[in-house]
Structure 1
């Protein structure tokens, strides 16, 4: 495989603009996310409150994402994205002013995070659906999705380190200010995008929004590949992904490290995710991704169990890298398949359900696995979650023949 094949989506001018704007904006956003967590802990000195804060900032994804799917299909997706980015820029600017003037309080951060969570629950599925609008060829969906996932993973590695340096040498307010400025890049990129044909919007505008919502759920349930993928994603998000919240326990109590140890573990997980995204970018189509969806939770689960049992820092670093690779293979492959096989007029609703089963389920998983860790211990809680992911993977694998057949039929139909 050549480097050009890995970057085949960049043949599209629109995707190049989109990717460049997102690259700058994502680094700013993850800097702000790191800064927000640091401020919450410094203002409250409470780990429990930090966990609760993480829950309330992500909870809107569960409630709003399904409705967002209907709006995505009724209105121009670029307009939605520009409006969302501009609103989040204003919120970040307000936080920057409050932090730089020393007036920031915990209720400011909570209010801002809830508002940004609401906006993100609309912006995220819109962004997923918008990728299909801007690439040249349908077969590039897998490549574009993988490159987008690599961008997110890379930003998660770089941004926290930059935020830490700026907080130490300047102030949290400067991080929010940088985040504010970073939104300009993605807004400019969205404005500069040109379309050869109008975006596909839902034709049935006379339908009640609740009818459209029901239609989306019915379509997702009756089309077996979508149903099984979403169910596996929900299980994976609930049982597997909370490992990130438990990571500080392993860094301090099991590996006997400090904040730098946590940074290494988090960075290694992000690096593994980046590698997984790069691997997927080599694929030329969505055909065959069903096998990766079936196998990835097993890779993730075995690596997570091995990590949980490790007391050696370097071995833990190696296994957590594989964990990161496993989760990005699962999420990105599922994203690409869903985008490819969904009908154009229902893609927004399907991607909103995908976002709901990822971002909306993870907070509940954090509460469940966190509570389980307090009853048992962190090791056993993660092992239990990993075993559940493996069981879910086996169940999905048993349905793989019919899923592959239906995916191939859909792929030929929409190609």
Structure 2
């Protein structure tokens, strides 16, 4: 699982725009100077959600590492790894907005019961194929695509379910803790996967992943429905997709975070391609080193997420600054001559990557009306992860053709340049909206 919002209307759920110096930055009247790092865990429903999520996320990370390594072993091609990643996110690019419409129309708890069950079954199917010795690369492609189809509905539903569990006051904290949860699993999953792949093969990692989805299903079933901050469901109607797009287009505090994460997600977050290629082609190591790379990023990500959990407010300049530094760090890592320096840089890249994620996510959620959250978050996720089908094969081709260092370097340069341009656009928008004396 991951993060999520979608709750009752309350102060801060549709923030205003400050029109003095930074008109594009939403303010949250519920925010205090600093919040308790784990305040969301006071909520029983959220505790159940978080417990189930850390278990299933650990299985998911095991499966991701095993999947990337399996494809690389079957084909010897970084492009094939990129194609697998692209197929998993292609449905989000094609159908992502429809998932948001479904999330706004239906009970999010019931939808999650269905989507998490489907993901578990797909994990078990890949385990059976691999353990039986019949797996072929097209099987991995097909299951990756089907997982993407389920994710179209699952992602905006989870994103818009967090507010229903914790209420608007603790949204920032819950989003940050969700990220810390996901990245903690990223610490554990790759390490276990590396041991399993070396000892008994990828199939057992896929099996554990399939079974791990039982944890969030149990958590969802045990939730107290009367304690949820439910919103009124959006009735069926025409033009709801266009309504969501017009809503975002009219609000700069939504447009710029979405544009920026679109560039970062498309070109800067292709780590399955780069890290497997660095382990295999630069440092001439095996699956254990690939797992180490992912673990290093996760250490930084957990630290960044916990720091974000204490932050009561977020600003667009923080998002832009983190994105510029993130891209610059990728450039430095691309030319790193030492394995140890590369691992150390991955820790810091993980910190700034998760800062981008949590800052953009909570900013967009708090700036959105509750009735629109499913559609807005589906657009957010569509451009964030849906850009991978465009960037993944391209980055994979660059990595195969010119080497892992050039591939990583190109992603960092695009990320930093995009952040700088978005920062300039935000400044220009602020100047236009600033009242004349």
Give the structure 1 partner of residue 160 of structure 2: 129
Structure 2 counterpart SS, 1:288: coil
Report what 1:271 is aligned to: 299
Measure, in 1, the Cα distance between the counterparts of 2:76 and 2:406: 27
- Structure 1 residues 93 and 226: alpha-carbon distance in aligned structure 2, compared to 1, 3 A threshold: same
Query: In the alignment, does 2:330 pair up with 1:299?
Result: no
Deviation at residue 375 of structure 1 after TM alignment: 5.3
Q: Which stretch of structure 1 is more off in the superposition, 174-183 or 149-158?
A: 174-183
C-alpha displacement of 1:384: 3.6
Q: Give 1:15 shift.
A: 0.7
TM-score normalised by length of structure 1: 0.87
Preserved contact between residue 164 and residue 228 of structure 2 (Cα < 8 Å)? no
Assess, with a 3 A threshold, how the Cα gap between structure 1 residues 180 and 403 changes in structure 2: closer, same or farther: farther
Equivalent of residue 145 in structure 2, options 98, 114, 133: 114
Find out whether 1:177 has 2:203 as its counterpart. no
Cα distance in 2 for residues equivalent to 1:373 and 1:99:
27
Provide the residue aligned with 1:187 in structure 2. 217
- The answer as to 2:342 corresponding to 1:341 is no
8 Å CA contact retained: 2:156, 2:378: yes
CA distance in 2, matches of 1:393, 1:107: 36
Q: In structure 2, do the counterparts of structure 1 residues 327 and 119 end up closer, same or farther at CA, with 3 Å as the change threshold?
A: same
- After TM superposition, the structure 1 stretch with the greater mean CA deviation from structure 2, 249-258 or 347-356, is 249-258
1:247 is the counterpart of 2:290:
no
Are residue 70 (structure 1) and residue 70 (structure 2) matched?
A: no
For structure 1, list consecutive stretches of 5 or more residues without a partner in the other structure: 406-415
Compute the displacement of 1:385 (Å): 3.1
**CA drift at 1:259:** 4.2
Deviation at 1:144, TM superposition (A): 0.6
> 1:220 aligned to 238, 242, 248, which one?
248
1:314-365 Cα deviation digits (max 9, x unpaired): 2222222211111111111100111111010100011111111111102321
Q: Can you give the 5+ residue segments of structure 2 that lack an aligned partner in the other structure?
A: 1-31, 432-437
RMSD: 2.7
1:214/1:301 Cα in 2 relative to 1: closer, same or farther (>3 Å)?
same
Say whether the 8 Å CA contact 2:79–2:396 is kept in structure 1: no
Partner SS state of residue 59, structure 1: helix
CA distance in 2, matches of 1:122, 1:398: 34
Match runs of 1:5-404 below 5 Å? 5-135=36-166, 137-194=167-224, 195-196=226-227, 199-203=230-234, 205-208=235-238, 211-255=239-283, 257-284=285-312, 287-374=313-400, 376-400=402-426
Query: Which structure 1 residue ranges, 4+ long, deviate > 6 Å from structure 2?
Result: 401-405
> Relative to 1, partners in 2 of residues 1:272 and 1:307: Cα closer, same or farther, differing over 3 Å?
same
* CA distance in 2: counterparts of 1:93 and 1:313, whole angstroms: 35
Distance 1:229 1:255 in 2: 36
Moved more, 359-368 or 139-148: 359-368
C-alpha distance after superposition, 1:132-172 (max 9, x if no partner): 1100x423111110111111112122112212323444454
Higher RCO, 1 or 2 (CA under 8 Å, sep at least 6)? 2
What is the CA–CA distance in structure 1 between the aligned matches of 2:130 and 2:406, rounded to whole Å? 40
The answer to whether the Cα contact below 8 Å between 2:296 and 2:346 also exists between their aligned partners in 1 is yes
The structural deviation recorded for 1:66 is 0.8
Worse-matched range after superposition: 361-370 or 302-311: 361-370
Say which SS state the counterpart of residue 337 (structure 2) adopts. Answer: coil
Indicate the SS of the match to 2:161: helix
Residue by residue over 1:7-52, the C-alpha shift from the partner in whole angstroms, topping out at 9 and shown as x without a partner, is 0111111110100011111111222223333333444454443332
Shift of 1:296: 0.7
Aligned residues: 399
TM-score by length of structure 2 reads: 0.83
CA distance in structure 1 between the partners assigned to 2:368 and 2:108 by the alignment: 17
More off after superposition, 315-324 vs 215-224: 315-324
C-alpha distance in 1 between matches for 2:162 and 2:286: 40
Distance 1:186 1:258, change over 3 A: closer
* Cα gap change, 1:94 to 1:380, in 2 (>3 Å): closer
Q: What CA deviation, in whole Å up to 9, does each residue of 1:278-307 have, x standing for no partner?
A: 1101113xx333232111111102211211
